């Protein structure tokens, strides 16, 4: 069950519309390493996690990622409000605009619609938590790249926040692997799959 | 490239814990002396890590200076204005951050105490905010003449409430 709180996790107020920047940031909405994939990855991996601390962590990080999805959608929305004809016609945003106007559609910056092929839900805790650590790194690099491409201080304020969350999540998933190892055969953690064999 | 900061001053503005014996730096954690081959290891965060206050934690994206690892020195130096919404966001953030920490450190009494303290302040703040500015959850729409839940602005709107 989810209950919506009518507020963002982090304040967003983007003064200057910038459709080109919006079309890049959109990748963290529906791209391969974006927040939609992140939340679905963790919230889907939860069901066969055998230990309570791992169920808790995947739930909590998965829910936070939904909050980040809303933040990225807000960035795209505020960057594409009140666009002039000139801003629309002479921007890399035009091909997106023709299909979606200024609504927020889950797609990668290069145009590929969101696809579950970008997330891993394997049903083995060691495999899934290792996937999660890699996923946090990939999202972190995407935010690094957005910071390289953007010089808008209102946008970068928010991107720096989102990027730092990836680092904290990486740390927690790494700790989760230590907790998992403590539960398994100390000589061979690959002896069996605790999601299936316990 | 805005807000250049040559090196991270993690201790600035942070709550210091007084300890008699020198402890390992906040940027380092516990690892076994030897580890199993073909296993991933991330250092485990220590239980007495330094923490930022919630308003600073919010703009840094973490409560923990040891995990505050910015890209090319790009750091949010300025805390958000002291508005009712920003206070709620800072407290909500601190609760979420401590919650993730507690998922992997469930018996850290210091973190549990702080988690309960921030949760109490958050509940109080939510109640006061909603009485004054309108509902943040649908169930809190208490006006008898109109379903105030639907009123603008919604969180993604550029237009802001007076509380922001």
Residue B137 to residue A175, Cβ atoms within 8 A: no
Phi/psi at A119 (5° precision): -120, 155
Helix %, strand %, coil % of chain B (to 5): 40, 5, 55
Lookup: tokens for A123: 């049903």
Note the pLDDT tens digit of each residue in A39-97.
999 999 999 999 999 999 999 999 999 999 999 999 999 999 999 999 998 889 999 99
pLDDT of res. B20: 55
B residues 109..148 contacting A (CB < 8 A): 135-138
Tens of pLDDT, residues A100-151? 999 999 999 999 999 999 999 999 999 999 999 999 999 999 999 999 999 9
Task: Give the model's confidence band at A12: pLDDT under 50 very low, under 70 low, under 90 confident, else very high.
Answer: very high
Q: How far is A188 from chain B (nearest CA, A)?
A: 8
Interface check B64 vs A, CB under 8 A: yes
Min Cα–Cα distance to chain A from B44, Å: 6
Cis peptide upstream of residue B153 (ω within 30 degrees of 0):
yes
Cβ-contact B70, B64 below 8 angstroms = no
Amino acid A149: pLDDT:
98
Q: What is the pTM of this model?
A: 0.93
- Smallest CA-to-CA distance from A182 within B113, B32, B98 is with B32
Give ipTM to 2 decimals.
Answer: 0.97
Sign of the Cα torsion A68, A72, A78, A81 reads: negative
Average pLDDT over residues B38-67: 97
């Amino acid at each position: 069950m989810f209950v919506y709180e009518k507020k963002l996790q982090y304040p967003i107020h983007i003064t200057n519309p910038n459709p080109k920047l919006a079309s890049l940031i959109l990748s963290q909405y529906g791209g391969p390493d974006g927040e939609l994939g992140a939340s679905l990855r963790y919230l889907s991996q939860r069901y066969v996690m055998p230990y309570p601390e791992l169920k808790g962590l995947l739930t909590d990080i998965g829910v936070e990622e939904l909050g980040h999805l809303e933040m990225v959608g807000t960035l795209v929305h505020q960057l594409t409000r009140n666009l002039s004809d000139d801003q629309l016609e002479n921007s890399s945003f035009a091909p997106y605009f023709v299909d979606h106007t200024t609504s927020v559609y889950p797609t990668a910056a290069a145009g590929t619609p969101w696809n579950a092929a970008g997330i891993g839900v394997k049903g083995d805790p060691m495999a899934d938590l290792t996937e999660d650590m890699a996923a946090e790194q990939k999202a972190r690099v995407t935010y690094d790249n957005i910071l390289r491409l953007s010089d808008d201080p209102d946008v970068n304020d928010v991107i720096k926040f989102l990027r730092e969350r990836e680092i904290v999540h990486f740390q927690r998933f790494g700790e989760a692997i230590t907790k998992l190892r403590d539960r398994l055969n100390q000589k061979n953690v690959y002896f069996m799959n605790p999601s299936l064999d316990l | 490239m805005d807000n250049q900061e040559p090196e991270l001053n993690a201790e600035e503005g942070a709550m210091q814990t007084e300890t008699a014996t020198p402890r390992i730096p906040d940027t380092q954690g516990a690892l076994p002396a030897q580890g199993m081959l073909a296993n991933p290891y991330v250092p485990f965060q220590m239980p007495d890590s330094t923490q930022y206050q919630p308003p600073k934690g919010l703009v840094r994206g973490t409560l923990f200076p040891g995990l505050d690892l910015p890209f090319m020195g790009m750091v949010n130096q300025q805390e958000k204005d002291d508005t009712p919404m920003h206070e709620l966001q800072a407290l909500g953030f601190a609760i979420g951050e401590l919650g993730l920490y507690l998922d992997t450190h469930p018996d850290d009494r210091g973190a549990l105490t702080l988690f309960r303290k921030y949760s109490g302040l958050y509940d109080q703040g939510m109640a006061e905010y909603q009485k004054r500015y309108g509902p943040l959850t649908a169930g809190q729409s208490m006006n008898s003449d109109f379903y105030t839940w639907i009123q603008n602005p919604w969180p993604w709107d550029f237009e802001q409430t007076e509380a922001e």
